[in-house]
Structure 1
Amino acid sequence: MMDGPERCHFDMDGLRYAGLAWGPEGGVPVLALHGWMDHAESFATLAPLLAGCRVVALDLSGQGLSGHRAAHASYNIWDDLPQLVGVLDALGWERAVLMGHSRGANIAGLLAAAVPERVRGLIALDSLAPEPVEADFITTLGAYVRDTRRALERPARRFASVEAYAARRRAQGNSGVVAAALAGRALVADGDGYVLQADNRMFASSAVKMTAADVEAMLRAIRCPVLNIWATQGIRQRPKLGALVAIAEAVIADYSVAEVAGDHHFHMEAAAAGQIAEAVLRFVARL
């Protein structure tokens, strides 16, 4: 096991993507994508357990140490896709395994559907696709416009200390271990306090949300084998997300699903990460 991850970065289309890498250069290529308001270090417990894999975890745009998108740009879940293909090119990975958690799993699924020739396998942790909505298109678009204007005008969120940020995450349901692990890369010291590095627009409504038909079309377009691991106390309990499993079983030719004890950030807890790693290594071995 390595002492720690390698730091890396990729400059793509005017955006800098920061990241962390584990494992041998010649290992099975795995691109890891984190959840909403997390960052690459969320894989620091799981990635070192994936023996024989070269895991590169990115801070997605607007989060962690990665750059913010231009003021006129947006943060829809498909906005990173062209740059992610660029990262695969920069790494020299013609075909890679994608591993995503939560929002990162949704992004990974969209990438697998959009450019199937670049993806040899998909590992989705406590999500698989966006929760489908039937909201009125114009209502959603209006919320996006209003939220984005407010976000651009609002100063970055401040915290008196790293512990204050961790306490906020605990109050939102994260365990103490998870909250502490996510604090460092999320903040930057500023005067007598800390500022959240994430772009305020990450809190804005999406401009467009996917309907049930959109989500099913996405799942139908996935050609690679899929390993979908859910946390027993995660988000699968939401009816619309739970229903995605049945759809995936019907439309994805090579789809396997499993559960591991833990909450939504189970991959950051040692016991659950060990079980996830065993399942992932079995999956990767047969690709």
Structure 2
Amino acid sequence: MSAQVEEIRLNLGHIELAAHLFGPADGIPVIALHGWLDNANSFARLAPRLKGLRIVALDLAGHGYSEHRPAGASYALADYAHDVVRVAQQLGWERFGLLGHSLGAIISVQLAGALPDRVSHLLMIDGVIAPTGVEQDAAERLGMALQAQLRLDGKRKSVYANLEEGVEARMKGMVAVSREAAELLAQRGLMPVPGGYSWRSDSRLTLPSPVRLSETQAMAFVKRVKCNACLVVAADGMLARHTALLEQLPFEQVSLPGGHHLHLNDEHGATLVADCINRFFGFP
């Protein structure tokens, strides 16, 4: 396939999202969803290596060049799933594949379980279900979330004197990435502000979730997935230590060397993940 990428914008009525478009027009339709606080450039190394796919790599709401949700709104997983269905509707895709990393993988599983007849393929990179909670903690969790929302009103985003400082901050983030990965994410993530640069992402993305599914509820989405599904587990990533969860999953699993962003951190990792995805879609 061509390595060329096209920048597009999708007006969904309730929000406008930015995206990268890869691959031949007659390829298998796939919507790619990045991880938390990342953007469409999460797939900049991976997508050009994939064969026979028409990939729309979104900037999720509140990330990259996409719009933020309106005042008073939040970033619930169900709202992301709604955005994806609207994107498919606008593109005229009745059935489509999902390629998700981390948060994007979680959204993909929920959507594939909620609307199993709409999703043709499910490919997950080091993510599968959101952190779960227990029923007796529900009130405490909501209280914590409400307090965090109120505190956010008085906070200001970090401002970096130059682009290099912003890149270094991303390298040392909650999930560390390579310099090359941070530079790619910064292309869509950093914006000029008075005094330097700041990340475009909506500050509300850092708020704790007011509600968590129980493990039974989370696994209900997994069990309703009908399509072929494959989970790439990064050997040094976030899922590898959750062996009890991995043993419950009905999906094909492939373990690959690398960290949580193995598809983005370097060329070798991108090639390994691409080879896995190409085999999964039947393009050796």
TM score, norm. by length of structure 2: 0.93
1:171-192: per-residue Cα shift (whole Å, max 9, x none)? Answer: 2321112112111211111233
Q: Quote the offset at 1:144 in angstroms.
A: 1.6
1:196-251: per-residue Cα shift (whole Å, max 9, x none)? Answer: 11111000001211221111111111111111001111012443xx32221113xx
Q: 1:90 to 1:275 in 2, by over 3 A?
A: same
Indicate yes or no: 2:260 matched with 1:264: yes
Q: What amino acid sits opposite 1:187 in the alignment?
A: L
Q: 1:136 to 1:160 in 2, by over 3 A?
A: same
Q: What amino acid sits opposite 2:200 in the alignment?
A: Q
Q: Partners in 2 of 1:282 and 1:259 — Cα distance? A: 14
Q: Partners in 1 of 2:32 and 2:240 — Cα distance? A: 24
1:49-95: per-residue Cα shift (whole Å, max 9, x none)? Answer: 11211111001001111111111111122221112101001111111
- Which residue of the partner structure matches residue 51 of structure 2? 51
Q: What amino acid sits opposite 2:37 in the alignment?
A: M
Q: What amino acid sits opposite 1:235 in the alignment?
A: M
Instruction: Judge conservation of contact 1:100–1:108 (CA < 8 Å) in 2.
Output: yes
- Counterpart of 1:283 (choices 255, 261, 280) is 280
Query: RMSD across aligned C-alpha pairs, in angstroms?
Result: 1.6
Indicate yes or no: 2:203 matched with 1:219: no
Q: What amino acid sits opposite 2:128 in the alignment?
A: L
Q: Quote the offset at 1:3 in angstroms.
A: 5.0
Name whichever of 183-192 and 117-126 sits farther off: 183-192
Q: Partners in 2 of 1:156 and 1:283 — Cα distance? A: 41
1:7-40: per-residue Cα shift (whole Å, max 9, x none)? Answer: 0111113211101011111111110000000000
- Which residue of the partner structure matches residue 146 of structure 1? 147
Q: Partners in 1 of 2:234 and 2:201 — Cα distance? A: 26
Q: How does 1:1-287 map to 2 (within 5 A)?
A: 2=2, 4-134=4-134, 136-172=137-173, 173-239=176-242, 242-249=243-250, 255-268=251-264, 269-285=266-282
Instruction: Judge conservation of contact 1:147–1:205 (CA < 8 Å) in 2.
Output: yes
Instruction: Judge conservation of contact 1:132–1:210 (CA < 8 Å) in 2.
Output: yes
Q: Partners in 2 of 1:101 and 1:7 — Cα distance? A: 20
Name whichever of 10-19 and 197-206 sits farther off: 10-19
Q: Partners in 1 of 2:13 and 2:158 — Cα distance? A: 27
Name whichever of 115-124 and 128-137 sits farther off: 128-137
Q: What amino acid sits opposite 1:266 in the alignment?
A: L
Q: Partners in 1 of 2:261 and 2:268 — Cα distance? A: 12
Q: Quote the offset at 1:131 in angstroms.
A: 2.6
Instruction: Judge conservation of contact 2:99–2:122 (CA < 8 Å) in 1.
Output: yes
Q: What amino acid sits opposite 1:22 in the alignment?
A: F
Q: Quote the offset at 1:118 in angstroms.
A: 1.1
Q: Partners in 1 of 2:61 and 2:101 — Cα distance? A: 16
Q: 1:195 to 1:169 in 2, by over 3 A?
A: closer
Q: What amino acid sits opposite 2:184 in the alignment?
A: A
Instruction: Judge conservation of contact 1:162–1:184 (CA < 8 Å) in 2.
Output: no
TM score, norm. by length of structure 1: 0.92
Q: What amino acid sits opposite 2:277 in the alignment?
A: V
Instruction: Judge conservation of contact 1:13–1:83 (CA < 8 Å) in 2.
Output: no
Q: Quote the offset at 1:161 in angstroms.
A: 1.5
Q: What amino acid sits opposite 2:194 in the alignment?
A: G
Question: What's the % identity of the aligned pairs?
Answer: 34
Instruction: Judge conservation of contact 1:154–1:200 (CA < 8 Å) in 2.
Output: no
Q: 1:208 to 1:261 in 2, by over 3 A?
A: same
Count of residue correspondences? 279
Q: Partners in 1 of 2:102 and 2:161 — Cα distance? A: 28
Q: Partners in 2 of 1:97 and 1:131 — Cα distance? A: 24
Gaps spanning 5+ residues in structure 1: where?
250-254
Q: Partners in 2 of 1:196 and 1:17 — Cα distance? A: 17
